[in-house]
Amino acid sequence: MKIYIGIDVGSVSTNVVAMNQNYNVIFKEYIRTNGQPLDSVKKGLKMLEKNLDHSFDSVVGVGTTGSGRQLAGIMVGADIVKNEITAHASATIQFHPDVRTIFEIGGQDSKIIIIKDKMVVDFSMNTVCAAGTGSFLDHQAERLGVPIQEFGDLALTAKKDVRIAGRCTVFAESDMIAKQQYGFSKAEIIKGLCDALVRNYINNLGRGKNLEPPFIFQGGVAANKGIKAAFEKEIGHEVIIPQHYNVMGAIGAAILAREYIEKTGQKTKFRGFGAADFDFSPTSIECGACANSCEVIKVDLNGKTVAMWGDKCGKWTNSLVG
Amino acid sequence: MKVSFPYMGCVTGYKKILEMLGHEVIMPQKPTQKTIDLGVKYSPEFICFPFKVMMGTYIEAVQRGAEVIISSGGHGPCRAGLYGEVHEKILKHMGYDVQVIIFDSIFRDFGTFYTHLKKVRNGASLIKLIKDIRFAFQIICRMDEIEKKIKILRAYELNRGDFNRAWVEIQKLYDKCWTQQDLEKASKIAHQMINDIPIRKVKDDERIRVGIVGEIYVIMESSVNMNIEQNLNNMGVEVENVQYISDWVKHNTRGFFGSSKAEQMIGKARRFVKMNCGGHDMENIGWMVDFKERGFDAVIHLMPFGCLPELITQSAIPTISKELKLPILSLSLDEQMGTANNQTRIEAFIDLVRNLKSAPKTEVKEIEDEVWNAKLLKQELAG
Ligand code: SF4
Ligand code: SF4
């Protein structure tokens, strides 16, 4: 069996998947990044190797995505390094070819991707405000003393609607406290929060876009039934949650790696599972050669410099041959 | 007088004219992180991003001895019109004895323009001044021409950095020009240098061409726009930027050097917006139409966070994009920007553009979702 590996390094979680030739996901792991992206990748690879226990012949392609895609790509020897938007869309299109709208809500950011004829035609991404992301929910769950896992189910038990101002986290918080004092139950408040998040998300990201079914909802937050229900109410249509909703980015990276390998006929640049034990050290140096004072990222692998970037003039980037 | 000016794109032309008038020029430095930090520290918090960067540039120039700063003013309801006065106030407040001279449009207020001119003229005759300006303007036009060419060809460069290295040399060449002969010679060498750089050959239908529009400062100054042109070129995308100093000068001195491109652009924008809101908003919308007409594949719109005129452009983008069938990406920039996120947007956008281009052309019928929009509006009103 030949496998493709996809790695999605985000600020909250690092996801690693392995996919076989029939696009079946045979391994997936969701690891907390905890500010240590490289360690999480190493950990993920080790788990993959152990879990599959030589049940496959070879790794034929590797792709990375997510905010840490570049560094992770160099470390593992990725064949393709892709942005999250393209990666997410590729995975969804693979499993739901008729998809028209993707809602993706992760820990730190959220996106809407519009698809037509299996192609991304528009997208938007929220990063400025936390109110439309998973951390907003985590935070509020903590305030209310409800474990985030139970959050969604609790929301579904609400009997009444309560409107919570969801424009911004700070307002939502004070409004939530006020509503609690009015005597609304926890379940109702939670449902109110889910509604607020979805409303806020659609207002911010869906502005000026035609959102059409089928709707696919993915990202870590898709596990939350309350949010799914809120989406369905908001748009008045069924929302589908894909089987691998929380690792779609990584799957997309694996698919893109496969496409790339098949198109170019190249052999994978994967450094092997030993990569996890390599001495891999990224450092940043401040170049003082001109007034730009660029912060140049230098990556050493086993004592040899393998990549450099961040220079405005190309002086360092070009100093590497091959 | 020790004179300096804001750093915005290529500054050789500015320098030239001041030198020809016998001033000592304190060359402003390309904004760095330090410049931005400095500017942010001494600017009002809610002022526009370009103001802050210019503030930093001025402080650095003054610290290096500049006594006079020459800048351009703006007009209309947007804050650009106040830049100079406020900059001067802040600098004075910091204890620097420096004057900020604003050159407004010659034709709007010739009186003030003339008084300013007298100060800068350094006793030179009006004839000499006009000659000098014309010469400097020619240099600017020639350099703009080369820069435009570089932003196209650099997308295909074989050895990374070739074009940038050449551009550094070319700037030096033009800097040494004092006569018409010098200029002709420099231009010839410069074009030769550019033509000699080895590039990858691509089929015509594989070329991806992207136009850049937006607020003038952020689209012209690479240090505040994540070096977007280089960035796109690195992805193999050709770039055309709408703002060049030569265009800007032409716009503010129309009648002097012929009719202005900006006016034509405003004409093209009429079908989307009715009036100009202070900056280059209408012009930018016009440019989008123009790019489409010239067969470009996409447009990227850059604006400082919270820029009023460009917010107007931005809000018109979904309609424009749909009607013109032209992908448009709008990015907001400021001192707090996370470059990583904008980088993701740019990469995803270019993927989108490439895919659209290679896809078989099928007309997809558009379903107007009035109901949806009405619902959104209702929610917005409700908060
Ligand atoms: S890397 Fe290049 S642009 Fe950056 S500070 Fe060094 S010499 Fe200047
Ligand atoms: S054009 Fe925009 S950034 Fe410039 S002064 Fe006006 S509002 Fe500010």
pLDDT, tens digit, 9 for 90 and up, residues B335-344? 776 677 888 8
* Burial of residue A267, with CB atoms counted within 10 A of its CB: 0-12 exposed, 13-18 middle, 19 or more buried: exposed
Per-residue pLDDT tens over the stretch B195-224: 999 998 888 888 999 999 988 888 888 888
Greatest mean pLDDT range, A266-280, B7-21, B169-183: B169-183
Whether B372 contacts A237, CB under 8 Å = no
d(CA A88, CA A80): 14
d(CA A15, CA A83): 15
The answer to whether residues B316 and B255 belong to one domain is yes
- Nearest CB partner across the interface for A210, out of B345, B359, B369: B369
d(CA A157, CA A159): 6
Structure tokens at A134: 């998973």
Look up the domain containing B323 and give its range. 207-346
The answer to whether residues B224 and B316 belong to one domain is yes
Ligand 1 binding pocket mutation candidate from A294, A316, A319 (most atoms within 8 A of CB): A294
d(CA B66, CA A57): 69
Per-residue pLDDT tens over the stretch A119-167: 899 998 875 565 567 777 777 777 778 777 787 888 888 877 888 776 6
Residue B361 lies in a domain: no
d(CA B291, CA B299): 8
The answer to whether residues B92 and B110 belong to one domain is yes
Helices (H), chain A: 37-52, 69-76, 84-95, 134-144, 148-156, 169-181, 186-205, 225-235, 248-264
Residue B164 lies in a domain: yes
Q: Contact A207/B340, CB-based, under 8 Å?
A: no
The answer to whether residues B227 and B137 belong to one domain is no
- Nearest CB partner across the interface for A127, out of B338, B367, B380: B338
Reading phi first (left if > 0) and then psi (alpha if -120 to 50, else beta), residue B76 is in: left
Give the per-residue pLDDT at A291: 63
A203 → chain B, closest CA residue: B376
* Span from the CA of B105 to the centroid of ligand 2 (angstroms): 17
Ligand of minimum distance to the alpha carbon of B333:
2
Q: Is A143 in the pocket of ligand 1 (CB under 6 A)?
A: no
Whether A15 contacts A8, CB under 8 Å = yes
Ligand of minimum distance to the alpha carbon of A297:
1
The answer to whether residues B335 and B232 belong to one domain is yes
Task: Name the residue type at position B167.
Answer: W
- The residue written with tokens 């594989």 in the block is B206
Tell which of A8, A85, A92, A212 to mutate to test the B interface (max B CBs under 10 Å). A85
The answer to whether residues B286 and B307 belong to one domain is yes
- Nearest CB partner across the interface for B379, out of A117, A199, A209: A199
- The residue written with tokens 């707090």 in the block is B336
Q: Is A280 in the pocket of ligand 1 (CB under 6 A)?
A: no
d(CA A166, CA A163): 9
Whether B330 contacts B303, CB under 8 Å = yes
Q: Contact A85/B380, CB-based, under 8 Å?
A: no
Q: In what helix (H) or strand (E) does residue A282 lie, and over which residues does it extend?
A: strand A280-286
Q: Contact B160/A314, CB-based, under 8 Å?
A: yes
Greatest mean pLDDT range, A101-105, B131-135, B275-279: A101-105
Coil vs helix vs strand at A19: strand
d(CA B231, CA A135): 31
Per-residue pLDDT tens over the stretch A58-93: 888 999 998 888 888 888 888 999 999 999 999 999
Residue B40 lies in a domain: yes
* Span from the CA of B19 to the centroid of ligand 1 (angstroms): 28
Q: Contact B32/A127, CB-based, under 8 Å?
A: no
* Span from the CA of B36 to the centroid of ligand 1 (angstroms): 17
Using a CB-CB cut-off of 8 Å, the residues of chain B touching A317 are 160-161
Q: Is A160 in the pocket of ligand 1 (CB under 6 A)?
A: no
* Span from the CA of B7 to the centroid of ligand 2 (angstroms): 17
Question: Radius of gyration over alpha carbons of chain B, in Å?
Answer: 22
Using a CB-CB cut-off of 8 Å, the residues of chain A touching B338 are 127
- The residue written with tokens 């100009």 in the block is B276
Smallest CA-to-CA distance from A82 within A241, A259, A309, A243 is with A259
Q: Contact A208/B318, CB-based, under 8 Å?
A: yes
Residue B366 lies in a domain: no
Smallest CA-to-CA distance from B130 within B33, B51, B20 is with B20
Other beta carbons less than 10 A from residue A309's beta carbon: 16
Coil vs helix vs strand at B266: helix
Q: Is A290 in the pocket of ligand 1 (CB under 6 A)?
A: yes
Q: Contact B348/A86, CB-based, under 8 Å?
A: yes
Structure tokens at A265: 């006929």
d(CA A258, CA A309): 26
pLDDT higher than threshold 80 for residue B313: yes
d(CA B149, CA B164): 12
Closest-lying ligand 1 atom to the alpha carbon of residue A316 = 1
Whether A241 contacts A129, CB under 8 Å = no
Q: Is A298 in the pocket of ligand 1 (CB under 6 A)?
A: no
Residue B91 sits at the vertex; the CA angle it makes with B87 and B92, to the nearest 5 degrees, is 115
**Where is pLDDT greater, at B151 or B22?**
B151
The answer to whether residues B245 and B267 belong to one domain is yes
Residue B376 lies in a domain: no
d(CA A209, CA A235): 13
Per-residue pLDDT tens over the stretch B56-110: 999 999 998 888 888 876 555 577 777 888 888 999 999 998 888 877 655 455 5
* Burial of residue A203, with CB atoms counted within 10 A of its CB: 0-12 exposed, 13-18 middle, 19 or more buried: middle
Q: Contact A313/B164, CB-based, under 8 Å?
A: yes
Smallest CA-to-CA distance from B50 within B247, B309, B239 is with B309
- Taking CA atoms only, the protein residue closest to ligand 1 atom 5 is A293
Whether A1 contacts A24, CB under 8 Å = no
Structure tokens at B215: 């607020």
Exposure of A204 in the CB half-sphere (CA atoms within 13 A): 25
Closest-lying ligand 2 atom to the alpha carbon of residue B279 = 1
d(CA B272, CA B285): 8
- The residue written with tokens 């000016």 in the block is B5
pTM for the whole structure: 0.83
Residue B88 sits at the vertex; the CA angle it makes with B40 and B5, to the nearest 5 degrees, is 80
DSSP B157: B
Ligand of minimum distance to the alpha carbon of A291:
1
Per-residue pLDDT tens over the stretch B269-279: 766 766 665 56
Q: Could you tell me the domains of chain A?
A: 2-90+249-277 (3.30.420.40), 98-241 (3.30.420.40), 280-320 (no CATH)
Of the pLDDT bands very low, low, confident and very high (cuts 50, 70, 90), residue A8 is: very high
Residue B358 lies in a domain: no
pLDDT higher than threshold 70 for residue B238: yes
Structure tokens at B167: 């551009």
CATH number (domain holding residue B28): 3.40.50
Task: Name the residue type at position B111.
Answer: G
Structure tokens at A302: 């086993």
Coil vs helix vs strand at A142: helix
The answer to whether residues B95 and B135 belong to one domain is no
Using a CB-CB cut-off of 8 Å, the residues of chain A touching B314 are none
B352 → chain A, closest CA residue: A120
Give the per-residue pLDDT at B133: 79
A39 contacts: CB under 8 Å, gap ≥ 6: none
Number of domains in chain B: 3
Ligand of minimum distance to the alpha carbon of B82:
2
Among B91, B107, B124, residue at a domain's last position = B124
Whether A23 contacts A248, CB under 8 Å = no
Residue B354 lies in a domain: no
Of the pLDDT bands very low, low, confident and very high (cuts 50, 70, 90), residue B368 is: very low
Residue B320 lies in a domain: yes
**Where is pLDDT greater, at B369 or B155?**
B155
- Taking CA atoms only, the protein residue closest to ligand 2 atom 7 is B307
Q: Is A178 in the pocket of ligand 1 (CB under 6 A)?
A: no
Smallest CA-to-CA distance from A48 within A1, A4, A107 is with A4
Of the pLDDT bands very low, low, confident and very high (cuts 50, 70, 90), residue A187 is: confident
Other beta carbons less than 10 A from residue B319's beta carbon: 12
The answer to whether residues B297 and B167 belong to one domain is no
pLDDT higher than threshold 50 for residue A37: yes
Using a CB-CB cut-off of 8 Å, the residues of chain B touching A69 are none
A86 → chain B, closest CA residue: B348
DSSP A12: S
The answer to whether residues B104 and B160 belong to one domain is no
Give the per-residue pLDDT at B367: 41
Tell which of B11, B352, B356, B369 to mutate to test the A interface (max A CBs under 10 Å). B352
Smallest CA-to-CA distance from B376 within A209, A128, A116 is with A209
Smallest CA-to-CA distance from B269 within B306, B231, B317 is with B317
d(CA A116, CA A100): 6
The answer to whether residues B168 and B211 belong to one domain is no
- The residue written with tokens 């209408």 in the block is B282
Smallest CA-to-CA distance from B160 within B211, B228, B219, B236 is with B236
Tell me the count of A-B CB pairs closer than 8 A. 91
- Nearest CB partner across the interface for B341, out of A127, A212, A314: A127
Among B182, B206, B230, residue at a domain's last position = B206
Helices and strands per DSSP (H, E), number in chain B: 16, 8
The answer to whether residues B192 and B227 belong to one domain is no
- The residue written with tokens 């790509």 in the block is A73
d(CA A65, CA A80): 9
Structure tokens at B351: 């993927």
